[in-house]
Amino acid sequence: MAKNVTTIPATRNRFTANPINSKKKRRVAGYARVSTDMEDQQTSYAAQCDYYTQYIQSRDDWEFVGLYSDEGITACNTFKREGFNRMIEDAMAGRIDLIITKSVSRFARNTVDSLSTIRKLKDSGCECYFEKENIWTFDSKGELLITIMSSLAQEESRSISENCTWGWRKRCADGKVTVPFGRFLGYDRGEDGNLVINEEQAKTVRKIYGYFLQGRSPYQIAKLLTEKGIPTPGGKKVWGKAVVTSILTNEKYKGDALLQKVYTTDFLTKKKKKNEGEVPQYYVEGNHEAIISPAVFEQVQILMQAREPGKNRNSCVNIFSSKIKCGDCGGWYGSKVWHSNDKYRKVIWQCNHKFDGGEKCTTPHLDEETIKRLFVKALNILAKERGIIIAGFEEIRNTAFSTEVLESEVEVLIGEVNTVAELIQKCIDENARVAQNQTEYEKRYDALVRRFDTARAKLDEAQTTITKTQAQLQMMENFMKTLRSLPEQVEIFDEGTWYALCDHITVYGKDDIRVTFRNGMEIPV
């Protein structure tokens, strides 16, 4: 018996669920984007916004929902594209039926982002139209075309990224220094593009280094600058510890520049990573005029390292922190508060490890007035010997603090390190291209690595010695300058003199306390 099949035509749009004879206007939004805020891109951005606004409003069957846009934002990911993300949210909420944009590359340069977003919109009944490629996403061939076009857009973005990276690294190799001048304290951009000292801001930089050398911590310096109303590099009112630390460790303030401290690991996510040897770095000496002398800068770096966490780390919470040493265990004294809640409240200093372990330290505690009195007493003894001390320093200065031999050695070692590094890389490349006896290759490779490690260790040791010698010279010069300015008889305790002259006080017993000055001289008081 023959079957009779009757076709019942669809009466609703399978994507929008609207009747096919519905005269309801389609809610349409436009999307515009440019990746930079340069002048020619701004013109393109304005043209896109104007064109799609007029184009959508000119259609009688369309209802203009609005124009969504992102200016100066990359399409490699969606993280910072506020306009794009707001448009997708509105579409998912059912407020948009159609999105029109110039091309697939304006929508997204990341294949995964592009496809996942298109599928989400499709499930919500929202279609996209890419005018340049003439692609409608509800079309059966739409996803295939979008996949191809998105991949091409992503590849174009990768190519652009590689070209930019190559250009940046070429600038670094040529020693061309660039900094974010709008957020870099102490320097302006000169006519040749290099760094030129901004004298007003340089005063703040010098204050920061001066405060640190006096013994203040980055946190204390930040608090002090905030109280004084000095603006941060970014123009804000409140300073942070990290900003001060960054200024204290930035080699550009001594006239040099280390280039390529960080690098971009992925052109899609734009994720940056600290360069720990993955890509070359370039150190430019004497690139611009220094705000801080190299010797002062190196002295600050040594002090920063001394304040690294540890049992006997140098602290600077108080002017006496890391300045009073226990003669029994060698640890530092710390402050303790007695009778904190009554009228007999008193701050004393005693060994931080006095009650650690089985055998307790026998050294006595000291109050702050006693510490100040003992230092003034030692200072007056030191002042009587100032003539002999200053003359002795001038006599040995040029020989005891000379680094000429070490500097010559450093130049030779740098050449050796660079040469061996190139030989190692050449050895690896040859092994990758040409079949070799792997036993012989391993021997040759291991020999080069041992040669490199030996040269590198010698270089690090020589550079460390130079740094310490220069820092000691700077410290001694500051010491002699303060010593010359002392009055014949010191009557009161002065913080500046304490920071400049005192290295530490060692407490052996109640009647055996000694002040050690920065020149190494120890005076029993």
- The string of DSSP letters for 127-174 reads EEEETTTTEETTSTTHHHHHHHHHHHHHHHHHHHHHHHHHHHHHHHHT
410 vs 419: CA distance, rounded Å: 14
Give residue-wise pLDDT tens across range 48-101.
788 888 888 888 888 898 888 887 655 455 566 788 889 989 999 889 999 998
pLDDT at 16: 52
pLDDT at 43: 58
124 vs 119: CA distance, rounded Å: 9
Extract the residue ranges of the chain whose pLDDT is less than 50.
Answer: 15, 38-42, 75, 310-313
281 vs 252: CA distance, rounded Å: 15
**Nearest alpha-carbon partner for 209 in 245, 252, 258, 165:** 245
pLDDT at 374: 94
Question: How many residues are recorded in the chain?
Answer: 525
Give residue-wise pLDDT tens across range 277-289.
777 777 888 888 8
Q: What are phi and psi of 149, to 5 degrees?
A: -70, -35
Single-letter code of the amino acid located at 383: A
How many CA atoms, within 13 angstroms, populate the side-chain half-sphere of residue 263?
Answer: 18
Task: State the pTM of this model.
Answer: 0.54
Residue 28, Cβ neighbours under 10 Å: how many?
Answer: 23
**Nearest alpha-carbon partner for 387 in 306, 484, 454, 293:** 484
- The vertex-447 CA angle with 445 and 452, nearest 5°, equals 95
pLDDT at 72: 61
Q: Which domains does the chain have, with CATH numbers?
A: 26-161 (3.40.50.1390), 182-306 (3.90.1750.20), 324-524 (no CATH)
pLDDT at 375: 94
